[in-house]
A and B are shown apart, each in its own frame.
Chain A
Amino acid sequence: MMNLAAYLFISLVLFLCGIIVIIARKNIVAILIGMELILNAAALNFVAYSRYVTHHIDGHIFPLFIIVVAAAEAVVGLAIVIRFFQIKETIHIDDATQLQS
């Protein structure tokens, strides 16, 4: 039961959920939540392959950097969201049509 396919399947489900959230939601924070799911799916794939295929520690290093990048992305993204809300008083993605306020 615990084999590569199971992990890949879980990763696939996470990825699909993330994609659906990104497509269906119009709230910018919800879109960021979907992106976290996708990043997690990728990281899980790395670790699963490192355990079952390559047997090398590099597969554990890459998720660390994925987590770092996810943290940076979340912080900057949410800062932009808050700034956007101050200007437009909405966080609907369709209202974000201008590069300059």
Chain B
Amino acid sequence: MFLQVVFILSALLTVVSAVMVVFTRHIMYAAVYLLGSLIGVAGLYLTLGADTLAATQLLVYVGGILIIMIFAIMLTGGQDFMKNSRKSFLQVPFMGNVKTYVFGGLAALVMGSIGTKLIMNVADRFSEHSEMLSYQSTIEVIGEALVTDHVLVFEISSVLLLGALIGAATIARPIKKQ
């Protein structure tokens, strides 16, 4: 009951925010809608019983990536960027006329229904295994798996992060005046 309410709310938040990311005209709003989508995905993780992942999602995406993105938006022109750019999103020409849109829409509908049918098949095939696991905390299991089975990936990702840190600091260094 609770889980279903959480699921509906998270799914709505995720999908609506993702669609708004596409249709908003302001790059800053896109970042804020991305925040909604990320929080929605964190809620979906919760309904799937992945509490560690939900917390990590909040910590890394909201606390780190999103703030860095907004920083980048502000450092590269800020709010007036979309309005004053000579080739803004508003000036992108429509890629077709009524005929192409009708044709494209029908094709998308057909493709979508085929895709849904395929997904339904997959879901049906596994429906006999789909009884819920009991929700339990995953953090101990994940912690053990990270340092036993997946220790190589763990180490490699640490090297990757170190490389990203040094690389970003090197690339974004201000240009020296000669």
* Mask: chain A, 1-16; 1 = CB below 8 Å from B; 0 = not: 1111111111011100
Write the nearest CB–CB distance from B160 to chain A, whole angstroms: 6
| Known pairs A10-B14, A79-B168; A91 contacts B77 (CB<8 A) | yes
Write out the residue numbers on chain B whose beta carbons fall within 8 Å of the beta carbon of A26: 87-89, 92
In the complex, what residue of chain B is closest to A81 when comparing beta carbons? B72
Q: Is B75 an interface residue (CB 8 A)?
A: yes
Tell me whether A6 and B14 are in contact in the complex, defined as CB-CB below 8 angstroms, given that A67-B57, A67-B61 are known contacts.
Answer: no
A52 touches B41 (CB 8 A): no
Given contacts A14-B18, A58-B145, contact A29 B44 (CB under 8 A): no
- Residues of A that sit less than 8 Å from B by CB: 1-10, 12-14, 17-18, 20-21, 24-27, 29-30, 32-34, 36-37, 40, 43-44, 47-48, 51-53, 55, 57-58, 60-61, 63-65, 67-76, 78-83, 85-87, 90-92, 94
User: Contacting A4 at CB < 8 Å: which of B65, B73, B122, B141?
Assistant: B122
Cβ contacts B42-80/A at 8 Å (1 or 0 each): 001101111011001100110011001101110111000
One of B15, B52, B65 near A71 (C-beta < 8 A):
B65
Q: Mark B108-127, 1 if CB is under 8 A from A, else 0.
A: 00000001100110110011
B residues within 8 A CB of A13?
14-15, 18-19
- Chain B residues with Cβ under 8 A from A61's Cβ? 142, 145-146, 150, 153
Chain A binding surface, main DSSP class:
helix
Q: Are B76 and A2 in contact (CB under 8 A)?
A: no
Q: Indicate if the CB atoms of B37 and A40 lie closer than 8 Å.
A: yes
Residues of chain B within 8 A (CB-CB) of A2 are 3-4, 7, 47
**Docked-complex contact B77 and A57, CB < 8 angstroms:** no
Q: Which residues of B contact A18 (CB under 8 A)?
A: 18
Which residues of chain A are within 8 angstroms of B172 by Cβ–Cβ distance? 79, 82-83
A29 touches B72 (CB 8 A): yes
Contacts of A94 in B (CB 8 A): 87
Do A3 and B157 have beta carbons less than 8 Å apart? no
Q: A71-B60, A79-B168 are in contact. Are A9 and B116 (CB under 8 A)?
A: yes
